[in-house]
Structure 1
């Protein structure tokens, strides 16, 4: 059940400051999509509870995704909005970042709808892509609304934004503009969209999660295995651990590549949801569920997932995950990242080490010409070549409220109730928009039937056609669903794709070569349209031989 408008305002109000609200500054799940949903929820609640009307004047502090979404929603509801941003650009953190992949729903796995790459939002909608490209979409859409509504005033490069105090004409906000000039205006409401905060640590320099890095790239100049320490068990730390240890890590594809479309997948997903429900019940009673989660993940995970991970482990790195708790699983991270990280640490494979777990709080990080020397509070010392700290952020909003009020807001937001859409159909005009998006999503899907064996029904998998820019990417995705029944790079020898409508088999470019090299990588750079695969097509996998052939280099 969606949270009520009144409860939304209670959760998002800044204590002791009437008509001042914050968006997701202390919530458990903070993603681009969830912050946009919170922004739309807040604007809906402000108008539904008559806190604002079409003639209201509102200040929005912060030009990230939440701030832009709130600004556009307010303007579309008739309000006049002033947007204040500290930097000289909107969406500043994600702009230019080509190493982080954003997906609106992937962190909802294994719940339904996680695969949908479209955010489906009524305003500032976007689809899964690299952060830089998502930022461009949001920025362009924002400025389109600015032009159309003529109700938004933008001030970038501002400094010293001061908390409002009660004045004779509403909420008065003070700041210095980009030229240093003092400004002061009254508003009917102030919305703080300043985000979760800024990363930093007294232990050593920290590179922001949103800066481009080389963690997923192979160490081309390393003469030995490069040792990494990743400290922090939130989504940021767990994602970096996965990027360091899993070759060709792509956040948008890793689920299908490692967990695949195995017959056991549905049971795994069902057990994960039950485990999550139990863990949340434990947390509500004040119990720590981290050991329960780790043990359950080891029990639930079928061996084929370990085998898939083992084939992707990088040989140029080793990694240790660090955290203060007994186990690295906590409810502040997504099920997907927790499950994969626990699989790395508990990898069941005789010859492959996934990752190590080092429990304890870091007290010192020293650096010299030989690397990084890390000491825990209990005195343990280990050496690494590189240290990645993901210890969370310093709350920017904390100077807007007393410390006791910060804890009050934290306790309210611990329930994480504000990230599910609460506005009614049609409030932002989304009925027409979502209908258009829905039909467009249907037109972008293809369906692949995969045989599950004698006596079992075939699995029918919907795939978003936009995910695959080349034919070999589609074949790779389907191969992971078939593995280990067919060897890698044997399309055309052990299996084929057949269009169910036309009955035509798809021919890989390898098969047209003079010397087909089955078992070795060969790209097929044709698009799906080039080979006649169109949105709505139904394809089926045809297995060509019962016993896989011996491939070059394989031990008999």
Structure 2
């Protein structure tokens, strides 16, 4: 998968391409997939398991679709798989940050030859990727670890996976990264130090919504991927950015950062997003609490690199 400049919008483009391939594969099976577009209503009930919708039925034209007739309807289902995403991102006025799922230019060099200051507020994956884009020259999320660790990457990855296989998924990884730095991270640290951008000055604002964070080491819990935590650890060791636990407005003011250069990555209100879809959401609140608490999704490798053939476009499928 090609993450140009590490942007999430490229993931969306790849998903659209994948959906097109899916449609091509199943275009001859006319009843295999019914598609509705332009949904103006979509509401689900859990008891009984039904969905009400108003939308436009898409008519199949080979692997493509054209707009058909609009309809309102409801139906009962045995199983519903929801892929509704996390919801829209929280906005923090007066800082009008572009959505993480939209392209912008922060990874590109400053054209007037000066240096621009930024504040990135948050410590989830969105915030940490923005820090990487603002501090690493020619950052690409799909290639950065290969560029930093070269032929040693697989051995390092195997060691980290072995060390963390039995670790608590909620464990803070800051002390672990410190413990392996001299033995395994020194080369990557040296390579990264040569690629720190000279045209940006970045402050990572880590106060948090609950205002409990008091030090940089505290953000290395399960709120972001291990890879992003590792990259930000290395960047911090390179002195690529500073941190702040002050209130956001105070942080922006004290570092003299313009509002348009403040990137707020404060996550989404996923529970409210689900309430807007599931009309009897109160009946599953306990289960939603369990899912949030347990965080059952854990990363593991199913296929080794090279297990799938290279497509004509040159990307792994």
The answer to whether the 8 Å contact 1:322/1:357 transfers is: yes
Q: Is residue 2:24 matched to residue 1:144?
A: yes
1:309: how far off? 1.3
**Structure 2: which 5+ residue stretches go unaligned?**
57-68
Secondary structure of 1:259's match? helix
Q: Is residue 2:283 matched to residue 1:397?
A: no
The answer to whether the 8 Å contact 1:275/1:293 transfers is: no
1:183: how far off? 2.4
In the TM superposition, what whole-angstrom CA distance separates every residue of 1:446-488 from its partner, at most 9, and x where no partner exists?
A: xxxxxxxxxxxxxxxxxxx947xxxxxxxxxxxxxxxxxxxxx
1:130: how far off? 4.3
TM-score, scaled relative to structure 1: 0.44
Q: Does the C-alpha gap of structure 1 residues 330 and 194 become closer, same or farther in structure 2, counting only changes over 3 Å?
A: same
Secondary structure of 1:261's match? helix
Secondary structure of 2:256's match? strand
2:44 pairs with one of 159, 163, 169: 163
Match of 2:197 in 1: 314
1:376-387 superposed matches below 5 A? 381-385=254-258, 386-387=261-262
Match of 2:161 in 1: 273
Match of 1:43 in 2: none
The whole-number CA distance in structure 2 between the counterparts of 1:357 and 1:274 is: 31
Secondary structure of 1:199's match? coil
The whole-number CA distance in structure 2 between the counterparts of 1:259 and 1:183 is: 55
Match of 1:108 in 2: none
Higher relative contact order (CA 8 A, sep 6+): 2
Q: Does the C-alpha gap of structure 1 residues 277 and 177 become closer, same or farther in structure 2, counting only changes over 3 Å?
A: same
Q: Does the C-alpha gap of structure 1 residues 190 and 221 become closer, same or farther in structure 2, counting only changes over 3 Å?
A: same
1:299: how far off? 4.8
1:407 pairs with one of 283, 289, 309: 289
**Structure number with higher helix proportion:** 2
1:333: how far off? 2.4
The answer to whether the 8 Å contact 1:246/1:313 transfers is: yes
Match of 2:81 in 1: 191
Secondary structure of 1:205's match? coil
Q: Is residue 2:92 matched to residue 1:202?
A: yes
Which shows bigger deviation, 382-391 or 205-214? 382-391
In the TM superposition, what whole-angstrom CA distance separates every residue of 1:177-208 from its partner, at most 9, and x where no partner exists?
A: 25885322233332211122221223432312
Q: Does the C-alpha gap of structure 1 residues 98 and 340 become closer, same or farther in structure 2, counting only changes over 3 Å?
A: closer
1:460-471 superposed matches below 5 A? 466=314
Q: Is residue 2:240 matched to residue 1:354?
A: yes
1:300: how far off? 4.9
Q: Does the C-alpha gap of structure 1 residues 240 and 184 become closer, same or farther in structure 2, counting only changes over 3 Å?
A: same
The whole-number CA distance in structure 2 between the counterparts of 1:420 and 1:438 is: 12
**Structure 1: which 5+ residue stretches go unaligned?**
1-32, 34-93, 103-128, 348-352, 366-372, 376-380, 422-433, 445-464, 468-556
Q: Does the C-alpha gap of structure 1 residues 155 and 302 become closer, same or farther in structure 2, counting only changes over 3 Å?
A: closer
Match of 2:55 in 1: 177
1:316: how far off? 0.6
Match of 2:231 in 1: 340
2:122 pairs with one of 226, 232, 255: 232
Q: Which has the larger radius of gyration?
A: 1
Q: Is residue 2:261 matched to residue 1:374?
A: no
The whole-number CA distance in structure 1 between the counterparts of 2:299 and 2:146 is: 29
The whole-number CA distance in structure 1 between the counterparts of 2:23 and 2:156 is: 44
1:249 pairs with one of 131, 139, 145: 139
The whole-number CA distance in structure 2 between the counterparts of 1:212 and 1:334 is: 21
Secondary structure of 2:52's match? strand
In the TM superposition, what whole-angstrom CA distance separates every residue of 1:404-424 from its partner, at most 9, and x where no partner exists?
A: 442123234x13269887xxx
Match of 2:175 in 1: 292
1:62-101 superposed matches below 5 A? 99-100=5-6
1:335: how far off? 2.4
TM-score, scaled relative to structure 2: 0.73
May I ask how many residue pairs the two structures share in their alignment?
A: 281
The whole-number CA distance in structure 1 between the counterparts of 2:146 and 2:46 is: 52
The whole-number CA distance in structure 1 between the counterparts of 2:195 and 2:30 is: 52
The answer to whether the 8 Å contact 1:297/1:342 transfers is: no
The whole-number CA distance in structure 2 between the counterparts of 1:392 and 1:209 is: 10
The whole-number CA distance in structure 2 between the counterparts of 1:206 and 1:180 is: 35
Match of 1:17 in 2: none
1:38-57 superposed matches below 5 A? none
